[in-house]
Homo-oligomer: A and B are copies of this chain.
Amino acid sequence: MQKSALFSFVSLLFVFINVQSQNFESDSLMLKEIYKTALTDGKSHEWLDYIANNIGGRLSGSIQEEQMIAYTESQLNELGLDKVWKQPVMVPKWTRGFKEYAYIESANGVNNVVDILALGGSVATPNLGIKAEVIEVKSLEEIAKLGESKISGKIVFINRPMNPEHIHTFSAYGEVSRLRFYGAAEAAKYGAVGMIIRSLGLRLDDYPHTGGMSYGDLPEEKKIPAAAISTNGAEYLSSMLRLNPSLKFYFKINSKNWPDVQSYNVIGELKGSEYPEKYMLVGAHLDSWDVGDGAHDDGAGVAQSMEVLRIFKKIGYQPKHTIRIVLFANEENGLRGGRKYAEEAKRKNERHLFALESDAGGFSPRGFSIDTDQANLEQINSWKKLFEPYFIHVFRPGYSAPDLTPLKGYCDVLVGLLPDSQRYFDVHHAVTDTFDKINKRELELGAAAMASLLYLFDTYGTQ
């Protein structure tokens, strides 16, 4: 390199570094204050304790969901935000009814009871339950391939373990969640009388995991009941089938689908000082499944989102843009809250710059999953150094979070908080998702990471 070229390159670098480190200093201090407030004077754990232990599982249309809406609205009001309101949205109502019952009929007449959980939205079995032979498959394609001759009159048993080789467990979930969502509809096409799916979890245990499903456009009389069996149960059923392919499986589900009911997104606002008409959003979903107490999914996200605004108030941070907290209704079995919010935002032509959701558990935060363009990605990457002291290292382009997907193409930057994912599918949608699985500091660190990213976007805007 010639001297002059080198010189101009170095001086350019110097200017760049200098400018950067000025901001770096003040941003660093702000992140430090945010983290300190979350860790020494946090409220997220107390909120989550109430949500999990005083409200509990809060499926759309349940009394607990009503309590959750009332509680979060009252807590947002206590934060002294500039505005708090409820955005009406109609949501599906499905009830589990009396506990499910299932057994594997054995050759010697002794029935082996196994734990199942109806999938959300499943129709009930007839009053006397269903008893039928079982056909085990690994994929939707296998169902189609086997066809009516092999499927008709049987219970389809989808036994596909999550792939343990993925380090990010959500990648493994992504590969199999469509089996749960479309499995019953696909099996019904070929005359199956029921669908049982291996729980979507990485651990071998006795707890079935429920989750959303769809019958697509199947007519009412064609719908078949669908349930998840625990991973241990699936292993057991599969080994029994190898010994006796014509064994019969019995199950009874007492669920019911009701007409849609009124629900609400709970929304609060801190008015922006410079750009009050430009919105930056932080949120989570207020509903959960009916089993467990929804501590990780998504009580944690709700408590963290409220904590972000509480921290800003507490440290006296006055945002430039209007910061909105949105607690979405009905993520689990409909996404109606997320859709309604986006619909209304577009209808009112509200300019949305940034949205961040926490819906991947309250575990130790590792980083963010970011759905945006190159310019905004680069901006986020330029902040990496700021996050290093807080062990936030992952800035991963890709899918953000469920309730934000209806904002795609409308909001510049969509982000999902990325906590450590190893324990998540041990509790996801199961009775094991309870408050005792929460570590206070991990929850608080997640809230602090969220507040930090929101602060940076509020300070520098989107690209």
Interface residues of A (CB under 8 A from B): 1-2, 4-6, 8-9, 35-36, 39-40, 164-165, 167-169, 202-203, 364, 366, 389-391, 393-394, 420, 422-423, 426, 439-442, 445
Contacts and interface: CB of A to CB of B under 8 A. Distances in A.
B445 A167 contact: yes
Contacts of A393: 391, 393-394
Given A203-B440, A439-B423, A439-B426, A168 B9 contact: no
Nearest to A3: B5
A422 B394 contact: no
B394 A391 contact: yes
A165 B38 CA distance: 9
Given A9-B1, A364-B420, A165 B36 contact: yes
A187 to B, nearest CB: 29
Contacts of A439: 422-423, 426
A5 to B, nearest CB: 4
Given A40-B164, A167-B389, A393-B393, 18 more contacts: A1-B2, A1-B5, A1-B8, A2-B4, A2-B5, A5-B6, A36-B165, A39-B164, A40-B165, A164-B441, A167-B390, A167-B391, A167-B445, A168-B391, A366-B391, A391-B420, A422-B445, A426-B439
Q: By CB atoms of chain B within 10 A, which of A394, A439, A442 has the most?
A: A439
23 contacts: A1-B1, A1-B8, A1-B9, A2-B2, A2-B5, A35-B167, A36-B165, A40-B164, A164-B441, A167-B389, A167-B445, A169-B441, A202-B441, A364-B364, A364-B420, A366-B391, A391-B393, A391-B394, A393-B393, A422-B439, A422-B441, A422-B442, A423-B442
Given A393-B393, A420-B364, A165 B35 contact: yes
Top 8 nearest A-B pairs by Cβ distance? A393-B393, A1-B5, A422-B441, A39-B164, A364-B420, A422-B442, A423-B439, A2-B5
A6 B426 CA distance: 53
A326 to B, nearest CB: 28
A420 B426 CA distance: 18
A165 B423 CA distance: 25
Contacts of A2: 1-2, 4-5
A17 B423 CA distance: 37
Nearest to A166: B39
Contacts of A445: 167, 422
A1 B8 CA distance: 8
